[in-house]
Structure 1
Amino acid sequence: MTTHARIIIIGGGIVGTSTLYHLAKAGEKDALLLERRQLTAGATWHAAGNVHTQSAYANLSALQAYSLRLYDGLAEEVGQEVGSHIVGGFFLAQTKERMEEFKHLAGKFRSIGLEYDLVTPDEIKAKYPLLNVSDLEGGAWDPEEGYVDPYSVTMGLAAGARKYGGKIKQNCQVDSITRLPSGQWRLTANDEVFECETIVNCAGFWAREVAEMVGTTVPITNMEHQYLVTDTMPEVAALGYELPMIRDCDSQYYLRQEGQGLLLGPWEQNCRTAWSKGRAPWSFGQELFEDDWDRLGDGLASIFHRVPALDSAGIKRGVNGAISFAPDGRPMIGPMPGVPNFFVACGFLGGIAQGGGIGLAMSQWILEGETELDLHFIDVARFGDWTTREFARERTHEILPIRYELIYPGIERKTGRPLKTTPIYNDLLSHGAVMGQAYGWERPLWYAPNGEVDEPSFQRPNWWDHVGREATAMAAGCGLSDMSSYGKFRISGPDAQAFLDHIGSAKVPSKPGKVALLLMLNERGGIVGDITIENSDDGSFYCVGATMGVALYQRWMEDHAGDFAVSIENITDQFAAIGIAGPKSRALLNTLSADDFDDFPFMSSKQIDIGRVRCTAIRISFSGELGWELHCPMLNQKALFDALMTEGKNHDLILMGGRAMGMLRIEKGYRSWGAEMTTEVTPHAAGLQRFCSKTKDYIGRSVVDRQRDIAPAKVFVTVEVDANAPPCWGTEPVLKDGQLIGYVTSGGMGWRCGKMLAVCWIDAKHRTIGGALDLQVLGQIYLAKVLADPVFDPNNQHLLG
């Protein structure tokens, strides 16, 4: 006998159960959850249960805030107590640098409507008298911090799921998954058979094994993590109220009340992979690992220093359980690239805090095809086949001991590098390149003249002026950028043009040698991504997009290929790209090529020879200066680079990194994917309607047309910020007469105009040119003035020259 369901969820931890709950509550009556043992039997049952809103990512904070409020109201909704304790919490700072981070976060949370108040050591002591605050600089207070009983919350969500029509089957271990000719999935579990349209992999420790059943993988690493619970402490019992949560960010631990004692959770500096090779045995149930207190020595010493009363406290129990990590410590959710109708929700470092919101997001993704919030930063598509098990292990061992690290803007990881390099990688290093990593690629951020390395800061970092010199030198001469990490696709087949017209907002170039910029929109008109399309004169189209969007773009295109006779080939690794920009770029290229760069219109392309290398030259420039992108086979990049560098000495050629380009594009008014171009923003609001056709049909057009004659509620503006202000890095609040009207999406220095700039997403009624706004940067208010956009070269004289 075969059991049929439209949707099957594998895994009954808090995330899987929350996903079922939200699917059922949204009206999906044909969803079934299969749990290997009993609900919560993986990581959920032994979790510490902490819930909080604080995150380095604004939309993850929003999901966590939703979780907290959902759990707190579950008892009333389903009639089952869930052990919710909203007691507030302190984040402690031992250094001025940490307090600076708290100032940055306070602005971020204000911009999304969450409280996060800076406090003094005395204010902390007043609410938590057991703390030694003598060596604290201060801290931050979040009134919505708290904890829940993970088992009870999961059972509450399960009760809600059943109430709304969801089904749960326990003691049902999935053994195999196959795809039927119909496209449906067949699962075998024990001796039973199940069939469904959609699978949701919420298998926790076993998420990799479940993914492998369908021919793919997810880069999770299972790690051990320990916490302790003390016996009753007279000092706690005598208070008469419940103590707030504590996170000592500099000493890397969390602390909360448990009964009349305390729960102590230091993050292990000597971290350990769970099980011998990180793979959980299928037989593992509600079990723990043997206690290993030696690994907690330094962490416990820090906690005992902070709470002297612990010296006389006994240990009631220890918990040494497993948790699953993604290589960057963020969840992995969404449709699995390359595997239709297979969704993933795994890798939760804070699964209890995130479970409610993730379940909501997953239900939206499954039922509506998209999420309300832009979640590209936790999309499983941010990883690819370059993310090996060893890479994941190395990266996890780097980030677990620094769970509460200072999250500076542009922070880079050290492990798992280098991984993907271009043929000119060593050449760039020899010229002082300071590399960052994006989608596995090493790419230059800036060029250090004296062997300097990144010294991150919320103020102007050590690279600030060097980046300025790169930008101004390019604007006076010409600059070379390695753009090889950009995503590249070859779209071919009889319906290639029709397909691209369907998924892209602008008219696809029908003539060879023509180039267009297209926006990919969802059905709500939100911007999924942007791609440059070149008609290659052989019936195919060469498409270029954002580095971090490679797998996401490919998934989007494949999901919307429908009945089109089209081939979508990811050729990113096969082709290199070098950008040449600046007023002397044409002279440089004319010297190296017999082809004529004088007769080369903007947004066009040619097959040309640069020295010994045949290239596709595309007349386009993200810097706003005269420029070209030179695309060639990856194996030829070294020869192309050498020719450009040799002749470039006669044309004031400099090397330019990604950070300079990021600031130059702000001056030019160009929007960036992931910052201004997100699924929450439509072309109308972003000022990008010029890239939206009025004559052809495409995904999202109905929304674009509906908004054409309607004033948007919110818009992007570029502002000049007080020159004395620290840089804006994103999410700083924008105020008018003391009222929140928006937030910063990007910031930097306008090196050509000599102004500190920021791009702001604000209420449209405040976009008056010359109008005064206030920006809250690191806790201080700075004056900003709305500028006409673009700030640099509004008539495109440089770009089109």
Structure 2
Amino acid sequence: MATYARIIIIGGGIVGTSTLYHLAKAGEADAMLLERRDLTAGATWHAAGNVHTQSAYANLSALQAYSLRLYDGLAKEVGQDVGSHVVGGFFLAQTKERMEEFKHLAGKFRGLGLDYELVTPSEIKTKYPLLHVDDLVGGAWDPDEGYVDPYSVTMGLAAGARKYGGTIRRNSQVDSIKRLPSGHWRLTAGEEVFECEIIVNCAGFWAAEVAEMVGTRLPITNMEHQYLVTEAMPEVKALGYELPMIRDCDSQYYLRQEGQGLLLGPWEQDCRMAWQETKGRAPWSFGQELFEDDWDRLADGLAAIYKRIPALEHAGIKRGVNGAISFAPDGRPMIGPMPGVPGFFVACGFLGGIAQGGGIGLAMSEWILEGESALDLHFIDVARFGDWATKEFARERTHEILPLRYELIYPALERTTGRPLKTTPIYADLIAQGAVMGQAYGWERPLWFAPEGVEPKDAPCFQRPNWWEHVGNEAKLMTAGCGLSEMSSYGKFRVSGHDAQAFLNYVGSAKCPPHAGKVALSLLLNARGGIVGDITIENSGDGSFYCVGATLGVALYQRWMEGHAGGFDVQIDNITDHYAALGIAGPKSRAFLNALSDGAFDDFPFMTSKDVEIGRIRCKAIRISFSGELGWELHCPMVIQKVLFDAIMAAGADHGLVLMGARAMGMLRLEKGYRSWGSELTTEVTPHAAGMGRFCSTTKDYIGRAAVDAQRKEPPSKRFVTLEVDPAAPPCWGTEPVSRDGQMIGYVTSGGMGWRIGKMLAVAWIDGTGIAPGDALEVQVLRILYQATVAADPVYDPKNERLFAKD
């Protein structure tokens, strides 16, 4: 007979144990954890235990700050001392470029309410007298850096889980998983059989193998990482206090005190996949074990550390710790419901599992019990990867990012490995035209176009990068004539079935277009009224609907729609890979398209669609424009996109056609007050806060309507505004603090140049109480305050005369 639990967690590392703890504490009386050996066996037991709050992502910082508070409280809650040492930490800068990054981060963390102080080399030396600092430009100080004992923390969480009713079964290695006709899962673990409604895959090194048991895949790469601990050092002992943490970002290492010695952790430049003989697969028998020390691979890193702390020259090595860590292709965790596999959650791929474990456990319990996490976590959602993220792609990308663990994270930074992967038929043509490509959800798409004589390559920086003026020229030339943009990476869905219209009315905030050839913009909302996504819905006239959404949200959108399709006779097909799209916009776009289609674009109102013939190609034209200019999207089967592109390019010279990349489009939308998914449109933002209440029906029922209606009567205090920023300011890239009369009221979510109006712009998320157009605010960019003025949206073509031209 099977042992039943409503929720079964696979894996007893810190993340799995934290998830059980939070489920039980939230009142889930029927949750069980299965661990194949002992708790912490795998990666947790040998982790360095470093805990910090700072992250490039605001909500990951929030989760890590929660972990700190949780661990500090475990001693009181369950009587488990976790060996917590909050000693603060320095980030070292050897170059002006690194110090500029710290200035950028200091503004970001101030906007998030976190402490992050810029310091001089002498100030670093005062707190860490063993350091050689003569070659440093400066650094940053985080007072919340520290470390814990990973084993003790995990055992404390396990004690808490048991206290609140959770069950832990050790020595229960899951061998197989099967879906039952009831929709439940059956798991076998040796002679034991278990049954559950929900599985949570926290299997660490073995997460990919567990995913394969349910017919899905995870792009995880297991890599070796070694640190070492020295013998006691008299220089350390003589100080009489515990030294701060150190992260030397330019030499790529971390170090901290361990007892009376030091723990040294260089990030391997010659990085190596773990268990190479089995192509990265960990043996199921692997427990609390380590790989052989490999000092040669640490030679450069250790040399940098020994130069930084001369006293190490006389220190002996107490032990080496060469263990494995699991990487996702972008180095961020993978959590959430697995797309296409109902009742199967994932929490794996943790580089900072100790720092993140507490907060991730909380987020997972919220997701499982309430259907979503309180914080928007799309940037670590497992849905950001699809079938395109193969094992080889993951391996290549991991070998790029591991040696650069503390690389300079410039705005708009693009990775180079594992590319190209997903390309459209016009990829080579765009490259020939000078396209500089970026990667989004596996797709290659043009970011900007280098004119003749200009190297088609990004040179990223925190000021105006090398592509800045070229992007501006694309925007201005389109505004004077017409522009072509590649839009094929956008998510595309065919929604069909007897209840297709009723379904889209239920999941979308706007009324689904009831007539053929009509188009609507609709928001996907959660029960709190938070924005899951936005989609364009076109009534195709055959009982089906053609829906278009954000590139990076395609799997998340599909998962959301499928998760709410119960009770509807509806079919949701992801057809992204099968259909291409080109955007044509600008004041001359109608004349241009008419010349190619025998006048098909004359009688063509805004937010409508029709089938047209351009050259030899029949395509669907949708009149909609993200640039705010007169424009259309042309959708056709992927296999004939090149013929359509060739016809357009052949006639383009006579109509002032310019090729535009995604960066130009991203800036053009700022002038129109259009919000972007992932930047402004998140699950923490409601339609009224985003200025999109007009897209929410007052006559039909839909998910989140109660929350939307409540805010019609009492508008939210926090909202988005567009700011005109001092033109002398560097660009706002996001998270820059916004203040009024010296009091911080919010932060920037995105920014850029308004090329049509000649002004620097930023979108800010602020406490909007008493804020009106014309009010003076300040934006802190790279630690300098610049004046900003609240603008009335939209700042360009406020009456939409260009958008609605000839309607």
TM-score where L is the length of structure 1: 1.00
Partner of 2:704: 700
Once the two structures are TM-superposed, the CA of residue 534 in structure 1 deviates from its matched residue by 0.4
- Do 1:717 and 1:767's aligned partners in 2 also have CA atoms closer than 8 Å? no
Counterpart amino acid of residue 340 in structure 1: P
- Do 1:247 and 1:253's aligned partners in 2 also have CA atoms closer than 8 Å? yes
Structure 1, unmatched stretches of 5+, are none
- 1:783-798 residue pairs with structure 2 within 5 A? 783-798=787-802
Once the two structures are TM-superposed, the CA of residue 69 in structure 1 deviates from its matched residue by 1.5
Partner of 2:425: 423
Partner of 1:168: 168
User: For residues 79 and 569 of structure 1, what CA distance do their matches in structure 2 show?
Assistant: 52
Partner of 1:315: 317
1:385 aligns with 2:387: yes
Once the two structures are TM-superposed, the CA of residue 594 in structure 1 deviates from its matched residue by 2.2
User: For residues 697 and 722 of structure 1, what CA distance do their matches in structure 2 show?
Assistant: 44
1:427-465 deviations in whole A, cap 9, x for unaligned?
000000000000000000000112231000110000000
User: For residues 481 and 766 of structure 1, what CA distance do their matches in structure 2 show?
Assistant: 40
- Do 1:255 and 1:264's aligned partners in 2 also have CA atoms closer than 8 Å? yes
Partner of 2:144: 144
User: For residues 93 and 419 of structure 1, what CA distance do their matches in structure 2 show?
Assistant: 35
- Do 1:242 and 1:257's aligned partners in 2 also have CA atoms closer than 8 Å? yes
User: For residues 555 and 130 of structure 1, what CA distance do their matches in structure 2 show?
Assistant: 53
Partner of 1:239: 239
- Which range moves more in the overlay, 225-234 or 639-648? 639-648
Partner of 2:663: 659
Structure 2, unmatched stretches of 5+, are none
User: For residues 692 and 78 of structure 1, what CA distance do their matches in structure 2 show?
Assistant: 47
Partner of 2:35: 35
Once the two structures are TM-superposed, the CA of residue 369 in structure 1 deviates from its matched residue by 0.3
User: For residues 126 and 8 of structure 1, what CA distance do their matches in structure 2 show?
Assistant: 50
SS of match in other structure, 1:118: strand
Partner of 1:650: 654
1:176-213 deviations in whole A, cap 9, x for unaligned?
00011000111001100100110000000000000000
User: For residues 384 and 428 of structure 1, what CA distance do their matches in structure 2 show?
Assistant: 25
1:722 aligns with 2:726: yes
Counterpart amino acid of residue 646 in structure 1: A
User: For residues 15 and 444 of structure 2, what CA distance do their matches in structure 1 show?
Assistant: 34
- 1:317-716 residue pairs with structure 2 within 5 A? 317-449=319-451, 450-716=454-720
Partner of 2:780: 776
Once the two structures are TM-superposed, the CA of residue 595 in structure 1 deviates from its matched residue by 4.4
User: For residues 429 and 412 of structure 2, what CA distance do their matches in structure 1 show?
Assistant: 23
Moved over 2 A (4+): none
User: For residues 328 and 715 of structure 1, what CA distance do their matches in structure 2 show?
Assistant: 31
User: For residues 159 and 114 of structure 1, what CA distance do their matches in structure 2 show?
Assistant: 30
1:124 aligns with 2:128: no
- Do 1:5 and 1:195's aligned partners in 2 also have CA atoms closer than 8 Å? yes
Once the two structures are TM-superposed, the CA of residue 767 in structure 1 deviates from its matched residue by 2.5
User: For residues 556 and 594 of structure 1, what CA distance do their matches in structure 2 show?
Assistant: 41
Partner of 2:50: 50
- Do 2:10 and 2:202's aligned partners in 1 also have CA atoms closer than 8 Å? yes
User: For residues 190 and 239 of structure 1, what CA distance do their matches in structure 2 show?
Assistant: 54
User: For residues 489 and 483 of structure 1, what CA distance do their matches in structure 2 show?
Assistant: 14
1:571-629 deviations in whole A, cap 9, x for unaligned?
00000000000000001100000242121000000000011100100000000000000
- Do 1:177 and 1:187's aligned partners in 2 also have CA atoms closer than 8 Å? yes
SS of match in other structure, 1:683: coil
Counterpart amino acid of residue 785 in structure 1: T
Counterpart amino acid of residue 554 in structure 2: V
User: For residues 731 and 626 of structure 1, what CA distance do their matches in structure 2 show?
Assistant: 32
Partner of 1:289: 291
Once the two structures are TM-superposed, the CA of residue 711 in structure 1 deviates from its matched residue by 2.4
User: For residues 711 and 271 of structure 1, what CA distance do their matches in structure 2 show?
Assistant: 52
User: For residues 779 and 25 of structure 1, what CA distance do their matches in structure 2 show?
Assistant: 42
SS of match in other structure, 2:175: strand
1:232-286 deviations in whole A, cap 9, x for unaligned?
0000000000000000000000000000000000000000000021000101010
SS of match in other structure, 1:255: strand
- Do 1:12 and 1:202's aligned partners in 2 also have CA atoms closer than 8 Å? yes
User: For residues 567 and 657 of structure 2, what CA distance do their matches in structure 1 show?
Assistant: 48
1:414-434 deviations in whole A, cap 9, x for unaligned?
100000000000000000000
- Do 2:736 and 2:748's aligned partners in 1 also have CA atoms closer than 8 Å? yes
Once the two structures are TM-superposed, the CA of residue 709 in structure 1 deviates from its matched residue by 1.3
Once the two structures are TM-superposed, the CA of residue 541 in structure 1 deviates from its matched residue by 0.3
Once the two structures are TM-superposed, the CA of residue 737 in structure 1 deviates from its matched residue by 1.5
User: For residues 84 and 407 of structure 1, what CA distance do their matches in structure 2 show?
Assistant: 30
- Do 1:595 and 1:609's aligned partners in 2 also have CA atoms closer than 8 Å? no
1:511-566 deviations in whole A, cap 9, x for unaligned?
00000000000011000000001000111000000000010000001000011011
User: For residues 329 and 463 of structure 1, what CA distance do their matches in structure 2 show?
Assistant: 27
User: For residues 272 and 384 of structure 1, what CA distance do their matches in structure 2 show?
Assistant: 25
User: For residues 174 and 143 of structure 2, what CA distance do their matches in structure 1 show?
Assistant: 42
- Do 1:595 and 1:608's aligned partners in 2 also have CA atoms closer than 8 Å? no
Counterpart amino acid of residue 391 in structure 1: F
- Do 1:507 and 1:696's aligned partners in 2 also have CA atoms closer than 8 Å? yes
1:66-102 deviations in whole A, cap 9, x for unaligned?
1111111111111110010000000000001111111
Once the two structures are TM-superposed, the CA of residue 766 in structure 1 deviates from its matched residue by 4.4
**Count of aligned positions:** 801
User: For residues 352 and 627 of structure 1, what CA distance do their matches in structure 2 show?
Assistant: 50
1:679-726 deviations in whole A, cap 9, x for unaligned?
000001111110000001000001011111112111111011011100
User: For residues 452 and 459 of structure 1, what CA distance do their matches in structure 2 show?
Assistant: 19
User: For residues 169 and 580 of structure 1, what CA distance do their matches in structure 2 show?
Assistant: 60
User: For residues 54 and 697 of structure 2, what CA distance do their matches in structure 1 show?
Assistant: 41
1:191 aligns with 2:155: no
- Do 1:527 and 1:680's aligned partners in 2 also have CA atoms closer than 8 Å? yes
Once the two structures are TM-superposed, the CA of residue 780 in structure 1 deviates from its matched residue by 0.6
Counterpart amino acid of residue 19 in structure 2: T
User: For residues 497 and 594 of structure 1, what CA distance do their matches in structure 2 show?
Assistant: 33
- Do 2:435 and 2:456's aligned partners in 1 also have CA atoms closer than 8 Å? no
Counterpart amino acid of residue 524 in structure 1: R
SS of match in other structure, 2:60: helix
Partner of 1:275: 275
Work out which of the residue numbers 720, 724, 736 in structure 1 matches 2:740. Answer: 736
Once the two structures are TM-superposed, the CA of residue 29 in structure 1 deviates from its matched residue by 1.1
Give percent identity, aligned residues only.
80
TM-score where L is the length of structure 2: 0.99
User: For residues 611 and 654 of structure 2, what CA distance do their matches in structure 1 show?
Assistant: 25
Counterpart amino acid of residue 503 in structure 2: F
User: For residues 363 and 52 of structure 1, what CA distance do their matches in structure 2 show?
Assistant: 22
What do you get for the CA RMSD once the two structures are aligned?
0.6
Partner of 1:114: 114
